[in-house]
Amino acid sequence: MGAQALLFWMFAAMVIAGGLMAVLLPSIQQAVFSLLLSFVGVAAIYALAGADFLAITQIVVYVGGILVLLSFGILLTGRTALTLGPQEIRNRPLGVLLGAMIFAGLLWAIVNSSGFAPGAGMDGGTTKAIGQLLLTRYLIAFEFAAIMLLTALVGAAYLVRRTQA
Amino acid sequence: MSIGLYHFLGLAAALFSVGVIGVVTRRNAIGILIGVELMLNACNINLVAFSRFGGGGMVGQVFAVFVIVLAAAEAAVALAIILQLFDKRRDVDVDRARTLRG
Amino acid sequence: MEQALPAYVPWIIFLPAIAGLIQQFMGKKLPRQGDILVIGAMAGSLALSVAMLFGWMALEPGQFFHAKMTWFTLPNGTEFYLGIMVDGLTAALSIVVTLVATLVFLFSSAYMKGDANYERFFFWLSFFGVAMLILTLADNLLMLFIGWELVGLCSYKLIGFWSQDLANAEAAKKAFITTRIGDVGMMVGILILYNVTGSLQFDAIYAAAANWEGSTGLLTMAGIGIFLGAVGKSAQFPLQVWLPDAMAGPTPVSALIHAATMVAAGVYLAARMFPIFTPDALGYIAATGAVTAFGAAIIAVVQTDIKKVLAYSTISQLGYMMIGVGCGAPWAGMFHLVTHAFFKACLFLGSGSVIYAMHHAQDLKDMGGLRKKMPITFATFLVATFALAGLPFMSGFYSKDAILYAALGDHSYWIFGFGFAAAFLTAFYMTRMVWLCFFGEPRNQEKYDHAKESPWQMTLPLVVLAVLSIGVIYNQTHFADTFFRTPAYQEQFAKTDSNENAYWAADAEPPAHHDHETWFTMLAWTLGPAGIGLGLLLYARGKRNEKSRVMPQAMQSYAENLAYMDDLYLGAVVPGFDRTAESARWTDENIVDGLVNVTGRGGLLVGDISGDFDQVVVDGAVTLSADVAQGAGAVVSTAQTGRIRNYLAGAIGATAVVIVGVIFALWIL
């Protein structure tokens, strides 16, 4: 196996393992931390695929933002969140079944698809290209995303406001 | 073997399924959120893989940027809601939150 | 030949009709309760009738006015008309009706003063006028029949006007029912005519009668049928029983309806329908007339109520008119109708004046010597009596003369004899009545002292009518010739090629009015005075009063029991009707009402069933659908667990199924 393949499989394993642990571990705290593992692995996958900007963004936003957010969530929801225990996981057979079904379906679709030529690898940094695209071709989407973020911000702030008691 | 498109796609499929398991299974609201995030990540991997191998150009990556952004926003709002839920009920068990029972 | 009708002629009918309508709805509120309106309308009709008369007189002989409009059409195409025909008969009768009516209306304004239903009286008078004029001016049998029935109705209402007294109501009922019997015969006659000729128009019937398509027997039956209507209406034997009882009505009514106009309608009908009477029918008519004339005259001799005397006298005179028609001289009958109308109305109104002065006493036993107290009434009464008795130079002389002469001309000697005897009796009983009422000593001093002459509204009509009873007027103007020899069937009356089959077509010109045998003239001149002489002989010496028997016992009993006719009806006819009515009542109560009750119960049953059906089936269906909806909802709502994870699982599960399903489908295909 080439080095690339090895790296790939290693990071893939990390991603899947992290994911599995995140969904299967009873303790939510542990689940969040395994999520960290998964996210980092995903970032590495991005890098392997030549999306350097995206890898960094993944780390910054997901790990640095979302994961922190989740941790704060756990913190703020307190002991009850932590003490759910074994009853935390329910319907495991159903879940596994559904997951398996979807996986099988997607796999079949992948296997039976054709016509995708391996594209050329991306050389050089993508940051500049992405930046350019964002501000020219996908400008409107960019702006909308900004508005979306604003809306989410305001919405979230509103949702957690302390009503006058 | 050289890593090709299908490897990435297979990885994404697997990650997506895992996310599904999480969503269906978890009782904690935050747990469900975790599952959702995993699914989103799987989509991102797909997008990037197609961008790299499928001849789409940079579109895939740009799209993935947006996905990340929106995932962040969504996580923020979701957490806000969960906190409100917790405020009202003192627990985050979604099974207990069934006032919409018909 | 037809001429166009002058436009004012329909107003002869319309004026009193409008007055009547106004009277009906607003009578009480009008000044003087509407009597001026009614009198004025009838006077207007009189004026128009006079105008119509002059208009008619300007025509050539054989011409007449005619106009008609379609009233309704049967589905098979036959049309029925309303129309007006004006020939000599119509013109003369129209004047008689309107003139007598106007005078009687005027008379009533004083006679009925103070009556509680004053305005209603004038309404019915006006309505009667309208009906009589419809009858007179009609141009077809249908319209005539309508007028016929309407005058019957008005007669009923007016006879029973003081309906609080049961006897009056009974009399009204008797009048109506008896005339109804005659009307049945009339309807049969009309139907036969319609069936054979296909039309009810007079001109069509006249033409058809000249060339009758059916059998002679059928035509005779038609003729007798129509005559039966006249028998009822004109109180001929055997249907005369209602007229004396009709005297229960107010005296103006008796004068107008039962002396001058309605009872004359029968004679008018006979004259109008003369062309259809076969010799057999005519013989029957003449016989009826003769019997009636003589029989009623005998009864009149013993009557003590002054109105009853006049009633029987009327019956007798009507019989005379029928003799005229039956002997082939309808003009003679019509002539007598006109003269009789005037002098009989005068007599009735005169008796009304007496009754009024005597505070509504009607019996001769309360009267006597009134000539000193009521001179105008007495004078006019006397003049009219002379006319009725047939004294020379009075109108009645000429008209009776014409009738008797016609009887002779027809070689009906026994009819002549009856008529002759009746004339003698007429003079006799009228003398009796006049003497007992106006001459001699008063039998009821109290009433006598209070009596005085009546107001001008009463005496003026008396004077007018008395003047019209003087005969020279008629003689000098050749009244009968002018009016009654030119009816609408004049064309066919003279024998021509087209009607040579008609038995009634005359061969030659009828003889001139005064071309009589000498013996007949002598007889005519002495008949009246002889009767009067006998009357004076028996009564003037004061030895006899109104109850004295002056006839042989057989005749007296016959007269006193009113020819036993009332007993005959009550014994033979009425029980049969009562039984029929009784069984009809039984049928109605038990069968018809039973049927109605059964239907009612059936309806209830259906209603119950329908209600149950509605409750069980319909409501059940509704409830069932509601339950189904609820059940389905309950089943479905189990999915609404409220659990988020269930929803999530559902969503994802659906996705998974779709994916797998699509793949599966693609794989198979």
Give chain B's contact residues with C (Cβ, < 8 Å). 20, 23-24, 26-27, 32, 94-95, 97-102
Higher pLDDT, C576 or C227: C227
Asked if C273 and C223 touch (Cβ cutoff 8 Å), the reply is: yes
Angstrom distance (rounded) from CA A38 to CA A42:
6
**Mean pLDDT over residues B66-79, rounded?**
92
Confidence of residue B18 (pLDDT cuts 50, 70, 90): very high
Asked if A36 and A58 touch (Cβ cutoff 8 Å), the reply is: no
Q: Is pLDDT of C573 > 70?
A: yes
- For C443, counting Cβ atoms within 10 Å of its Cβ (0-12 exposed, 13-18 middle, 19+ buried), the class is middle
DSSP-derived letter for residue C394 is B
Residues C332-360 pLDDT 10s: 888 888 889 998 999 999 888 888 888 77
Nearest CA distance, C639 vs chain A (angstrom): 17
Q: Is pLDDT of C88 > 60?
A: yes
Q: Is pLDDT of C62 > 70?
A: no
**Mean pLDDT over residues A44-66, rounded?**
91
Neighbours of C346 (CB within 10 A): 31
Higher pLDDT, C27 or A127: A127
pLDDT reported for residue C258: 75
Q: Is pLDDT of C1 > 70?
A: no
Nearest to B38 among A19, A28, A153 (CB): A19
Q: Is pLDDT of C609 > 50?
A: yes
- A44 closest CA partner among A52, A36, A35: A52
Q: Is pLDDT of C466 > 50?
A: yes
pLDDT reported for residue A77: 78
Helix or strand (DSSP H, E) at C223? helix C216-233
pLDDT reported for residue C56: 79
C590 has which bridge partners?
none
> Cβ separation of C637 and B98 shorter than 8 Å?
no
**Strand pairing class (C2-4; C79-86):** unpaired
Q: Is A101 on the interface with C (CB under 8 A)?
A: yes
- Rg of chain C (C-alpha set): 37
Angstrom distance (rounded) from CA C612 to CA C293:
76
Phi and psi angles of residue C341, each rounded to the nearest 5 degrees, phi first: -55, -45
Which two three-digit tokens encode residue B66? 């947006």
**CB < 8 Å from A in window 174-233 of C:** none
Helix or strand (DSSP H, E) at B71? helix B59-89
pLDDT reported for residue C512: 47
pLDDT reported for residue C504: 56
DSSP-derived letter for residue A91 is -
pLDDT reported for residue A165: 52
pLDDT reported for residue C484: 56
- C389 closest CA partner among C326, C469, C332: C469
> Cβ separation of B24 and A77 shorter than 8 Å?
no
Q: In this structure, which amino acid lies at residue C151? A: V
**Mean pLDDT over residues C177-183, rounded?**
89
**Mean pLDDT over residues C6-13, rounded?**
83
Nearest to C640 among B24, B97, B102 (CB): B102
Q: Is pLDDT of A87 > 70?
A: no
Q: Is pLDDT of C480 > 70?
A: no
**Mean pLDDT over residues B34-39, rounded?**
94
**Mean pLDDT over residues A54-71, rounded?**
93
Q: Is B36 on the interface with A (CB under 8 A)?
A: no
Nearest CA distance, B97 vs chain A (angstrom): 14
- Rg of chain B (C-alpha set): 17
Q: Is B22 on the interface with A (CB under 8 A)?
A: yes
Residues C241-279 pLDDT 10s: 888 888 888 888 888 887 777 778 888 998 888 888 888
**CA angle, residues C549, C554, C555, in degrees to nearest 5:** 65
Residues A4-35 pLDDT 10s: 888 899 999 999 999 999 988 888 888 999 99
**Residue tagged 């002997």 (tokens):** C327
> Cβ separation of C640 and B99 shorter than 8 Å?
no
- Rg of chain A (C-alpha set): 20
Nearest CA distance, A27 vs chain C (angstrom): 18
**Mean pLDDT over residues A118-138, rounded?**
75
Name the packing angle between helices C413-438 and C395-409 (round to 10°).
160
Higher pLDDT, C485 or C211: C211
- For A122, counting Cβ atoms within 10 Å of its Cβ (0-12 exposed, 13-18 middle, 19+ buried), the class is middle
pLDDT reported for residue C366: 72
Nearest CA distance, A140 vs chain B (angstrom): 12
Angstrom distance (rounded) from CA C395 to CA C467:
10
Angstrom distance (rounded) from CA C537 to CA C542:
10
Confidence of residue C508 (pLDDT cuts 50, 70, 90): very low
What is the widest separation between alpha-carbon atoms in chain B? 55
pLDDT reported for residue C505: 55
pLDDT reported for residue C477: 55
Which residue is closest to A144 within chain B, CA to CA? B66
Runs of H (alpha helix) within C273-394: 279-301, 306-326, 330-357, 375-389
Bin C80: left if φ > 0, else alpha if -120 < ψ < 50, else beta: beta
Asked if C366 and C358 touch (Cβ cutoff 8 Å), the reply is: yes
pLDDT reported for residue B26: 84
Measured between beta carbons, the chain A residues lying within 8 angstroms of C652 are 98, 102
pTM of the model: 0.62
**Mean pLDDT over residues C219-247, rounded?**
88
Q: Is pLDDT of C529 > 70?
A: yes
Angstrom distance (rounded) from CA C273 to CA C489:
10
Asked if C497 and C343 touch (Cβ cutoff 8 Å), the reply is: no
> Cβ separation of A102 and C659 shorter than 8 Å?
yes
**Mean pLDDT over residues C612-639, rounded?**
85
Phi and psi angles of residue C75, each rounded to the nearest 5 degrees, phi first: -60, -30
Measured between beta carbons, the chain A residues lying within 8 angstroms of B39 are none
- C149 closest CA partner among C121, C172, C179, C178: C179
**Averaged pLDDT score across all residues of chain C:** 81
Q: Is pLDDT of C557 > 50?
A: yes
> Cβ separation of C649 and A101 shorter than 8 Å?
no
Q: Is A73 on the interface with B (CB under 8 A)?
A: yes
Confidence of residue C492 (pLDDT cuts 50, 70, 90): very low
Phi and psi angles of residue C59, each rounded to the nearest 5 degrees, phi first: -80, 165
> Cβ separation of C642 and B102 shorter than 8 Å?
yes
pLDDT reported for residue A122: 57
Confidence of residue A92 (pLDDT cuts 50, 70, 90): confident
Asked if B49 and B4 touch (Cβ cutoff 8 Å), the reply is: no
**CB < 8 Å from B in window 22-61 of A:** 22-24, 28, 31-32, 35, 38-39, 42, 45-46, 48-51, 53-54, 57-58, 61
User: Which residues, in sequence order, are CB contacts of C621 under 8 Å at separation 6+?
Assistant: none
Residue C152's alpha-carbon distances to C82, C132, C146, C448, C460, in angstroms, are 20, 10, 10, 37, 29
Which two three-digit tokens encode residue C214? 């059916």
Q: Is pLDDT of B3 > 70?
A: yes
Residue C105's alpha-carbon distances to C20, C35, C163, in angstroms, are 13, 8, 21
Neighbours of C549 (CB within 10 A): 14
**Mean pLDDT over residues C52-73, rounded?**
77
pLDDT reported for residue C227: 92
DSSP-derived letter for residue C161 is S
Which residue is closest to B102 within chain C, CA to CA? C640
Which two three-digit tokens encode residue C210? 């000249």
Residues C433-459 pLDDT 10s: 888 888 777 777 777 777 777 788 888
**CA angle, residues B5, B9, B14, in degrees to nearest 5:** 150
Residues C107-154 pLDDT 10s: 988 888 878 888 888 889 899 999 999 999 988 889 999 999 999 999
**Mean pLDDT over residues B33-39, rounded?**
94
> Cβ separation of C645 and A90 shorter than 8 Å?
yes
Q: Is B20 on the interface with A (CB under 8 A)?
A: yes
User: Which residues, in sequence order, are CB contacts of C94 under 8 Å at separation 6+?
Assistant: C12, C49, C52, C53, C86, C133, C136, C137
Number of H helices, E strands in chain C: 29, 3
C470 has which bridge partners?
C394
Q: Is pLDDT of A85 > 80?
A: no
User: Which residues, in sequence order, are CB contacts of C422 under 8 Å at separation 6+?
Assistant: C293, C294, C297, C316, C319, C320
Higher pLDDT, C571 or C316: C316
Higher pLDDT, C422 or C527: C422
pLDDT reported for residue C188: 92
